[in-house]
Amino acid sequence: MSVTRLTLRISAADLAVLRQHPLLTDCRIEPPYTQGQRYCYWDTPARLLMRQGIHLYLHQQGIDTWQGLTLTPEQAARYQILCEQKVLLKGHQLDLAAFEVLPKELKSILELMEPRLELVGEAHIQREYQLLQFRNGTQAILCIDIGYLQVGVEAGRRTESIHELGVVLHKGKLKKLLDGVTRLAADIPMFLEGQTLAQRCFRLQDQSAAEPLKATLPELQQPLAGPRLATTLEACQQTLLTNLQVLRAGRGLDNPEWVHQARVALRRIRTLLRLSHQLMPRRSQKLREALCPLAQKLGQWRDWDVFLQHTWPQWIAQVGAHPADALLQEFFQARRYQAIQEVQTELNQASCGRALLELEGLRVRLPAHDRLSARDMACTALRAGYRTWVTALQQIPAHPDPKTYHDLRIVLKKLRYTLDGCVDLFEGKKPKRWLKALTQAQEVLGQQNDQWQAIQVLRNLSIVRTGCAASLLQVEERRLILIDRAEEELTQAELLIEPSLKALQELPIFWKRSS
């Protein structure tokens, strides 16, 4: 995601509303104009450039044409080169002589490639430009893009429509620009785009190769709290937006990893917001509350995936098949589909798009908070999480019910995610031992919670549309058998909880402030 440009998806119907929005009509300082744009993306047949995060393109704007090479932010920082306005292609081959300064590392990558390139796909766009000046003095170029991506030829051709709003910072501060765009998102549903045109073009060209973006944490060396949080938050945002865009478009619904990775990224973001509460309490608290509905709906979807993937097949394997299984399977799939619809509805709400924009606004402000060390911030958060966990343990009754264990699991999960994001700030084996013990305890409590949730589903089962009364009797018979089996599994899972919690209690604390 660029620090000076925002790209937001918007429906075709809302574009007409957007053009008449007071924020645009009142802030426009020049008449709008439209210009055609065409991007052509090239790569080797084996896609060696794309694998390195490099995108070679030809850009036509009106009567002007130029070529460019786009690197990942990490590569750009490492290579310290810009390749815009240079002739990079000779026919269908990459011309290395076109580069005045080409680092050895990048040159070796390009020289090892197959010399011949091929056209991967194109983007055809009609772009309407508007120059705006907001009340806070910030100037921005607003680009309304309407067009399509196209890959393949003739019978194998695939297209994807483009309806987007691009906002480019022209003058002023990015945080002020984000404030203005966020006000716009309060009235019109729009969604931050997590991928560039080039990335979406390659994804469209080979949809079978599209995989969920995994929620991994970046390697960090920042000793200060604000810059560290900003870097981690940017990585988590990229993961969340990329996976949510697929779910929002109705793709990847049969692959549980898309929603799982989106949920993990959102969990980490909410953990980062808890940490940033020490720096920006009002903004972080407001954002945590705004993202709560999305987190809950993703959780419900994920619960059904876990049930259908693991719990339900295990039950059938343990108690044997039954004539009512097909009817129950159909019911469970319908409930999962309902959870999917609720997520997609939430993603199309203006409130959701606005929350993700406000999250970006918080991220760009975090680097300025550079007085608190990252280690001290982590110690404060871990100490608070530990106190909450100890309090929860003390309140466990002699005979706890599943709801008590569920609440304890949430407390442990928050403590684990906090430690997971800052374990590198501490030396020695103690932090890793804590992380391992927290993970094991969370898994045990998670197994208990899965069985408890499954029992609730079976007890509240209501199937009214069946072929005959015999089917209803078979479902009731099967339901009682499965409840008995689930209660046995629940009892076995609860026996493992006490040892895992005892192992945690025996670990010495290690979080001490450096000052």
For residue 355, give the CATH number of its domain: 1.40.20.10
The answer to whether the pTM exceeds 0.85 is: no
Q: What is the dihedral of CA 470, 475, 478, 483, to 10 degrees?
A: -150
3-state secondary structure of 224: strand
State how far the alpha carbon of 473 is from the alpha carbons of 245, 313, 356, 479, 502, in Å: 43, 22, 48, 10, 45
Same domain as 366, residue 466:
no
Question: Is 361 within the bounds of a domain?
Answer: yes
Number of structural domains (the chain) is 3
Give the containing element (helix H, strand E) for 165.
strand 158-171
The pLDDT, as a whole number, for residue 95 is: 52
**CATH code of the domain in which 100 resides:** 2.40.320.10
Each residue's pLDDT tens digit, 419-478: 998 888 898 899 999 999 999 999 999 989 988 988 888 888 766 554 555 577 888 888
Name the residue with tokens 């945690």.
Answer: 504
Same domain as 341, residue 235:
yes
Answer for the pair 479, 458: CB distance below 8 angstroms, yes or no: yes
- Which residues does residue 118 pair with via DSSP β-bridges, in sequence order? 43
Same domain as 407, residue 289:
no
The CA distance from 199 to 52, in Å, is: 12
Q: From edge to edge, which strands make up the β-sheet containing 55-61?
A: 64-70, 55-61, 33-43, 118-133, 139-151, 158-171, 5-9, 191-192
Give burial (CB, 10 Å; 0-12/13-18/19+) of 98: middle
Same domain as 277, residue 138:
no
Strand pairing report for 158-171 and 139-151:
antiparallel
Give residue 297's domain range: 228-318+326-371
Same domain as 201, residue 84:
yes
Same domain as 341, residue 400:
no
Each residue's pLDDT tens digit, 344-390: 999 988 899 999 999 998 998 999 988 899 999 999 999 999 999 99
Same domain as 94, residue 60:
yes
Same domain as 196, residue 60:
yes
Same domain as 382, residue 347:
no
In this model, does residue 127 exceed pLDDT 50? yes
